[in-house]
Amino acid sequence: MVKKGEDSIVIELRNVERHYHMGDNIVRAVDGISIKVKQGEFIAIMGPSGSGKSTAMNLVGSLDSPTHGHIFLDGEDVSRLEESDLAQVRGRKIGFIFQSFNLIPNLTAKENIMLPMMFQGLEIEEREKVAEDLLKLVNLEDRMNHYPGELSGGQRQRVAIARALSNNPDVILADEPTGNLDTKTGEIVLEFLDKLNKEGKTIIMVTHDPNLAQKHAQIVYWLKDGKVEKITRKKK
């Protein structure tokens, strides 16, 4: 097991491939990529449509299993875990922010944030307190009893960020976090991700926008045709 520390590798993809069968053809959506994410880094996975970045995101977040290769979370090979076991590991270690928010429409903002904690077995009193504290953190304490349909896009994304933080995960995985937002609101969301990173959270952002990737991430993995075409690092 990898010890926690400044240079701890929290997620590693090692020669990972993900293939899909389409009729008689095999689509190599991800074709032998290796990615290392250290604790406290801000990483971007960058690529145009069809580059394999969405598949790579699913693999990095352990939402999918590789056809070949290995995925490690905190040094543990999770590549072949049963989904029930993987869900528990994933729920503790990774918080997800999706482009389409993925909030449950018939749950309030507070209830959406409480939901991941329920799957980790927390008591309702603790779930309520954490949800209320997180809503204050994202300046939405006055919207805790509102449903997603009663919130603006920016407010829904802030609820999604609060939900991603609910189990205090080591890693926040953000899939096109500004994709459904106007420019100003998108900047607010990214400033919040920068703030979380400065406070020690590991951020992995998947994006098609090179400007966002280069402005916010310390390391950018550029994908093309399912492979890592190049890796760039921000100068200190």
Which CATH number covers residue 52?
A: 3.40.50.300
Q: Which residues pair with 190 in a beta bridge?
A: none
pTM of the model: 0.89
Whether 21 is covered by a domain: the verdict is no
Name the strands in the sheet holding 94-97, side by side, starting at the edge strand that comes first in the sequence: 94-97, 171-175, 202-207, 42-46, 219-224, 227-233
Whether 9 is covered by a domain: the verdict is no
Segment 54-79, tens digit of pLDDT: 999 999 998 888 999 999 998 889 98
Q: How many domains does the chain have?
A: 1
Distance between CA 4 and CA 183 in Å, rounded?
36
Whether 12 is covered by a domain: the verdict is no
Mean pLDDT of 180-209: 92
Can you list the alpha helix ranges (DSSP code H) found in the chain?
53-60, 83-93, 109-119, 124-137, 153-164, 183-198, 210-216
For residues 94 and 164, is the Cβ–Cβ distance under 8 A?
no
Token output for 195: 């703030």
Whether 99 is covered by a domain: the verdict is yes
Whether 143 is covered by a domain: the verdict is yes
Whether 120 is covered by a domain: the verdict is yes
Whether 107 is covered by a domain: the verdict is yes
Percent of the chain with pLDDT over 70: 97
pLDDT surpasses 90 at 145: yes
Distance between CA 136 and CA 143 in Å, rounded?
10
Range of the domain at 156: 40-62+79-233
41-52 burial, b at 16+ Cβ within 10 Å, e below that, comes to bbbbbbbeeebb
Whether 19 is covered by a domain: the verdict is no
